[in-house]
Amino acid sequence: MRKTGPLLYLLVCTLIITAFSLPGADRIKLTMFSQSLQGGRAASFQAELYYQSVDGRLVTIFGDPLDHVMVTNRHGELLVYDPGENTVYRRQSMEYSSENNLVYFFLHGKTRDLGLRDLGFIQSRTEFEQGLMISRWEAPASLSHLFSHIELVHEDYMPVYAGYYDASGDLVKKVYYSEYEVFPDLILPKLITEFNYLPGGDSIINRVRFSDVRINRQAESNWFDFEIPDDAKVID
């Protein structure tokens, strides 16, 4: 089974942690176009996302024509279905939880800390400079092997930048949030650009652009209720 697309999606969506919402949005459908660049090599994919907060279920459709369908929930259950082969790949881990996914943060108003407080980070400092609010968040002991701290920058109460520092205090990731658009019940950055700095001086650049955003009654689709066929063969 080819799992490159879904696994790349999971990587992008768990690394880019954002939160941009107003109360009242309980389901959302949108198109995501992701581009990655490393060492002169580029890769891209497009996906349709269908998320509803009532049960925390996220259905992601890859490819046109249909290539794979990925289903996750708040309990960390991951299913990747290949309709061509009628096979399903299963895993369970809280790292796959839909509540660690950027769509969850869109709908649950976590613009102040981008979900860091829920992960155990503690705000240690806040400064104001030229209309920007700059805050520093110290990593909990459970994540100290990965991060020393994270810096957030807000403008007009919305995040525009996040800087991630590793256990040695070196900057290893920058994330920029831009092209904000106000929708009914939702404020969304249409463009997210991420720079990941690797050992040895190499880097990975990820760019995610959102379009065709539909919310609540406008977000009507049978994909919200998609179920993997009972006769699908389970593979590792």
pLDDT at 231: 96
What mean pLDDT comes out for the span 220-225? 93
Say whether 54 sits in a helix, a strand or coil.
coil
Domain coordinates in residue numbering, the chain:
4-235
What's the pLDDT score for residue 39?
87
- 4-235: what CATH class? mainly beta
The pLDDT tens digits of the residues spanning 27-52 come to 889 999 999 999 889 989 899 999 88
Count of Cβ atoms closer than 10 Å to residue 141 Cβ: 7
- Regarding predicted confidence, which is higher, 86 or 102? 86
pLDDT at 181 over 80: yes
The percentage of the chain sitting over the pLDDT mark of 70, rounded to a whole number, equals 81
Q: What's residue 110's pLDDT?
A: 73
Q: What is the DSSP string of 62-80?
A: ETTTT-EEEEE-TT-EEEE
pLDDT at 99: 66
Residue 62 identity = F
pTM of the predicted structure, to 2 decimals? 0.81
